[in-house]
Chains A and B, each alone.
Chain A
């Protein structure tokens, strides 16, 4: 008996080590980038043009990029989720669509870059532009939005729908006035996760929509753009590193965007699960 008790304690302690290591690793990333980044981060750095050593164009470029990609992917993603959850339940078409979504989710981002380059930039003639980037990234985040929205829509209690139907609402009205408003927080969460993925993406936009050192902001979607990720990549890989301070500051901005978005999504999901007692 004593032997077992000792063994159990030993196992408990040794199993707690990997978790501790991972949590420490996360904290280390935060601290190492935070400490160095804060030193060279200032309002002036954020609003000064890239030409003068700031990152203004990169920040606005990232906002342009995620705004466009999400605007394209959201309607398609939510419509797909509604169709899968409310119309095609488990049918043959639904299975094909789900399989396709799975496979898209598994494709590496560099392949999206290759695809965007041949299809959007060359075949459709959009060139290396913001528009090509939007479309490429919209394809990439589609699975995130579909699966998040699908989960949210399937969580809507059946009693809500029955009540609406009993009042004489048509299926369309039930979806529009009951299902989607109830699932809205979950759908919003999936959109936020999509935004965070776009904000941190480099490989897919490397040769579809970015140029190093732009002349100001793009004035229309057919012009190339510069994003935070690409700016950082260029700074670290293409040019010899003279000032790492700027790189740390940029990494900190990027890290903050991603962590704030994901934490927000996490709490929204918790709120959501509590509400339906899951």
Chain B
């Protein structure tokens, strides 16, 4: 008793440190919640500006078949179909390319070779979209023009080709992570039963990795729908519904390029201005749905792939 007694001053220091720690934690929590705030602000402000158009046009905004803002025709159907056409086309090219690449990189190449090659493919995804648009305009459009005899060569097909290269890295990157995360025991069991490498991949690895591969495809599609500049430069920006609707050699206009092109010259507060935000809301709903499904699927991956 009394030999080791905390002097009050030390107690005060510990008390102070505890309080300081608590304050810092609260400050960090508040700063971290700013991302929640940003998300809320984005949704509220874009939706708020879209509201007049949504109220005035109602379902006509989505179902209207004619987009001619200067004649006050605000039907976004041609734009939505244009976006879907280009995105589906790009998926048809990018999915086989990306998934097969991911299988090859993770299962057939040693890690020391597969990793660097994967990084080069990932570099494709970091090249700015303006450069893709530029290359598409200068090199791909003339080829399309000559091959199929369409003037200018700015078509849905051109857009799909350019876009597919832009989204392939997303598929390769996430798919190969998912494929690599399939437990080794599964593979060994299959090989021990006498399966060949391809049989093992086909009937063990791919089925296990399938939800994750689907997720990677969806994430790539989400990115494709939101892509603006490259699509604007190579798709021709003609707001018509192609006839027949799957005619890839027709020029198309998309949701994103309509926003980008018109925003610069629109009168603030006009119906046209609000309609552009309405297009933004449609775009956000599509990407949100696609990304949410992808998130749910990714959680089903064998070992949860690290993604924050």
Contact = CB atoms under 8 A, between A and B. Distances in A.
Contact of A200 (B41, B105, B128): B128
Contacts of B306: 151
A18 B103 CA distance: 10
B126 A170 contact: no
A112 B256 CA distance: 12
Interface stretch (A42-50, A102-110, A178-186): A102-110
B7 to A, nearest CB: 17
B82 interface: no
B10 interface: no
A63 to B, nearest CB: 16
Contacts of A113: 259-260, 263
Nearest to A257: B128
B31 A76 contact: yes
Give chain A's interface residue range (CB within 8 Å of chain B): 35 or more
A117 B45 CA distance: 10
Most chain A CB within 10 A, of B137, B197, B259, is at B259
B280 interface: yes
A87 B135 contact: no
Given A76-B31, A110-B256, A171-B21, A202 B124 contact: no
Interface residues of B, number: 83
A93 B29 CA distance: 9
B165 interface: yes
B189 interface: no
B211 to A, nearest CB: 17
Contacts of A98: 308
B contacts with A: majority SS: helix
B15 interface: no
Contact of A111 (B48, B197, B219, B284): B284
Contacts of A102: 291, 295
Contact of B226 (A110, A146, A172): A110
Contacts of A75: 31
Given A32-B139, A200-B129, A123 B45 contact: yes
B104 A19 contact: yes
Most chain A CB within 10 A, of B35, B101, B104, is at B35
A244 B134 CA distance: 10
Contact of A83 (B31, B126, B295): B31
A110 B135 contact: no
A93 B42 CA distance: 20
Closest 7 CB pairs of A and B: A108-B226, A200-B128, A106-B291, A203-B228, A83-B28, A15-B104, A80-B32
28 contacts: A8-B196, A22-B124, A23-B120, A25-B124, A76-B34, A82-B28, A83-B31, A84-B32, A97-B32, A103-B39, A104-B35, A106-B222, A107-B284, A111-B226, A114-B259, A118-B46, A118-B48, A143-B35, A146-B308, A147-B307, A172-B24, A200-B128, A200-B130, A203-B228, A203-B229, A233-B229, A244-B138, A258-B127
